[in-house]
């Protein structure tokens, strides 16, 4: 199975700061990575597909980059509603797997 | 509007089975795969497997073979997951999620259902 390692586990920031969240795959997966946001007691929400492709209805402050083994989710000027957990997911090979998540919290 | 409505929370005894449902609306059920996923409290998300709404064809994560059985009822646009021989390790929130047409990511999710295994 492909292992996705997310870092950091927790990121403490002040609203208005810009942040980058990392997801590293255990083998090359091209751009087969997708990002989700999960707020407490809610279902995950798709933010970015195929490493960098935007999703309709998602604010433009969310962007993604990377290919191969290293991927980044960037949030430009974090807003209060962005404090939640972020997961990456790979679709390069079955079984589909997720990273362990990065919790974005208010400093 | 695409909607996935899951059944309510379950409290089940160890060794028992439970059947979860995911009733869909707002799209053509038979044209998409539905996946089921598990999330233990404070933990990672695990993919259990998927099922095609058109013909009921399934694919499972090896880890969940023998534990989960996926079925569909096309007439009611509903997907089901049976979980058998439940233990405390099966206590978790279970989500259904629609796969996009490529089968690569999940574009719509159910609200999740909490299954608690306890005597």
pLDDT tens digit sequence for B15-52: 999 999 999 999 999 999 999 999 998 889 999 999 99
Task: Name which of A12, A29, A37 is nearest A70 in CA terms.
Answer: A29
Closest Cα of chain A to B22: distance in Å? 14
- For residue A22, the surrounding DSSP H or E stretch is strand A19-25
Q: Which residues of B touch A (CB under 8 A)?
A: 35, 44-47, 59, 61-63, 95, 97, 100, 102-107, 109-112
Residue B83 burial class via C-beta count within 10 angstroms: exposed 0-12, middle 13-18, buried 19 and up: buried
Q: What is the mean pLDDT of residues B85-108?
A: 96
Q: Is the pLDDT assigned to residue B93 strictly greater than 90? A: yes
Closest Cα of chain A to B111: distance in Å? 6
Interatomic CA distance for residues B50 and B48, integer angstroms: 7
Percent of chain A scored above 70 by pLDDT? Answer: 100
Task: Name which of A86, A82, A99, A89 is nearest A6 in CA terms.
Answer: A99
């Amino acid at each position: 199975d492909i292992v996705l390692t997310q870092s950091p586990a927790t990121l403490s920031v002040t609203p208005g700061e810009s942040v980058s969240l990392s997801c590293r795959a255990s083998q090359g997966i091209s751009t087969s990575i997708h990002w989700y946001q999960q707020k407490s007691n809610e279902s995950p929400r798709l933010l970015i597909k195929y490493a960098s492709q935007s999703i309709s209805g998602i604010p433009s402050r969310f962007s993604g980059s990377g290919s191969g083994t290293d991927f980044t989710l960037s949030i430009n000027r974090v807003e209060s509603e962005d404090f939640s957990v972020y997961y990456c997911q790979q679709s390069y090979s079955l079984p589909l797997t997720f990273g362990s998540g990065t919790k974005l919290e208010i400093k | 509007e695409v909607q996935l409505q899951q059944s309510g929370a379950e409290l089940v005894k160890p060794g028992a089975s439970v059947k979860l449902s995911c009733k869909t609306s707002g799209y053509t059920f038979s044209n998409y795969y539905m996946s089921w996923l598990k999330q233990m409290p404070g933990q990672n998300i695990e993919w259990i497997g998927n099922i095609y709404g058109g013909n009921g064809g399934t694919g499972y994560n090896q880890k969940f073979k023998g534990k989960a059985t996926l079925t569909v009822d096309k007439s009611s646009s509903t997907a089901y997951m049976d979980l058998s021989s439940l233990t405390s390790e099966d206590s978790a929130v279970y989500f259904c999620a629609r796969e996009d047409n490529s089968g690569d990511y999940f574009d719509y999710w159910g609200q999740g259902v909490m299954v608690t295994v306890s005597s």
